[in-house]
Amino acid sequence: MTDSAADVTPQILENRDDASQCWFARISTDLNLPGRRNKTQRTFPCVLQTSQERRDASLIEPSFDAKALSLSDIQAASEKGKTVLYLAYGSNLCKETFREKRGIKPRSQINVLVPSLRLTFDLPGVPYIEPCFGNSAMRDPDAMGSEDYHKDRWKKGLVGCVYEVTPSDYAHIIATEGGGTGYRDVLVDCYPLSDSDTVPEKPTTQRFVAHTLFAPPDKSHARPDPSYAQPSARYLNLITTGAAELALPREYRAYLNEIRTYTITTKRQQMGKVLFVSTWWPFLQLLFALNTQFQDDKGRSPPWLAQLATLLFMGVWRSYDGAFKKAFGDGERTEGDETSSKRGNGMNEEQWRRIGEENGWFRSNGKMEHMA
């Protein structure tokens, strides 16, 4: 029996609202708009490495239903002294994001490789300001890295950090990622990384599993070319800073440092940015305030607010595609940055070579080091 249109439409709208809430939760955490002041950088206590015993115990743990996780479940788990191993990646690698903004206090941590996942930058943000955010997707081991986009050239799995957190902290992570709407709690195989400068093609360390929140692709919120947009320098700096703080392998950090960031290069784009922010910032600010007031203890917004976020998302990107991009220029990718170019960021050959030498990317003969 086939579903009728009346049966299918509510589910489509629900999925779209869930995706909008994921988008809204992400930009409310990661977006840096006028009126938000950066705090003085804090220092955080060192965290011990996750024990082998705790990693072994993860192999028999079940996944959670992120939508159904209740306060009583959290309290019961806390009373039993249970903890959750949570896989963090992207901006959550940075202490400023994970430990300061989100207030998470990990008990232990360990750097890992996750062969089944890959890092993407396909979550739309706000044009001219934060064109895209980091996300994760299933990895095809046989797929070749893209030569068109620097951020797609990493051929190995996702490199991240597994934090051991309390049940209440994990519930807070779920809340700040949209309260489980659109996300599923999944268990992924993780392999501890050694102190080597390179990331192995095939891990040889002992497997354990960790929880992560995975959002399946949603075409209603995808851009025509999901890999087209470039992250802002501010956002990418959170990731590269976190990678350095965690001492992730040098090879992976070199890859992150080669990702090109979105840069406004014309007065026309600058004017477009000012007008775009002036147009949409009051609505975003109102939505932030409404969400703070009406979200439940799981971080979920009421249906009417989720639908409002859907309309806002559509308005932001339709106004950009239909008017702002044509009138003021590209708000997702640096203009003049050819996707097939081997050099970028508006630098000439000598500037690129000098930066490469300073970061150890070149041999003494000036040729690029091969990254396995």
**Residues at the annotated binding site for substrate?**
86-91, 235
Q: Considering only CA atoms, which of 101, 67, 28, 7 is closest in space to residue 305?
A: 28
Catalytic residue list contains 177:
yes
* CB-count exposure of residue 12 (10 Å: 0-12, 13-18, 19+): exposed
| Residue of 96, 130, 164, 177 with catalytic role | 177
**Residues belonging to the active site:** 177
